[in-house]
Amino acid sequence: MLPWTRRYPSCRGKAATEMSRLTHINARGEANMVDVSAKPVLIREALACGEIRLQRATLDLIESQTVAKGNVLAAARLAGILAAKKTGELIPLCHPLPLTHCEVNFEIPRSRDRIILRASARIAAQTGIEMEALTAVSVAALTIYDMCKAVDKRMRITNIKLVSKTKRAL
């Protein structure tokens, strides 16, 4: 029995077996950073998406660039890219990675009830990239929320997910 399963009975049995295969948990049940030094350097790309639901009036302000804090989408794009570059500092067990590309884009559907966010990230490395894309989407959405919270108290950030992750030889 793994030591930590004594404290968490719900983690015994099948769940404990599955959790013992988690790459960031060692044999003693402690969190650790994965050693990727033996892995090959590959081109890795990831795409993540999410959305922020808001009122039409809020979208009108964003599009007309009349939100008091400034250009919302420009700020959110920069915040997302900067956050992707700092993912290794924000998520404790992520490796710090030198991104080769990161892009954050926005789409406003015809329903005009939300902004869809998409972030792509690329790197030539031994590990990673999905956390960087997810972080970019998350922080871009949080930036929109922060810049518009004074005018829209009903905003909701939702559906943040990894869409794809690929890797190929250099």
Active site residues: 146
Judged on CB neighbours under 10 Å (0-12, 13-18, 19+), 115 is: buried
Order across the sheet with 114-125: list the strands. Answer: 101-107, 114-125, 42-53, 156-168
Neighbours of 163 (CB within 10 A): 14
Alpha-carbon gap, residue 49 to 155, rounded angstroms: 17
Task: Please report the DSSP string for 73-89 in residue order.
Answer: HHHHHHHHHHHHHTHHH
Tell me if 51 sits within 8 A of 158, measured CB to CB: yes
Tell me if 88 sits within 8 A of 97, measured CB to CB: yes
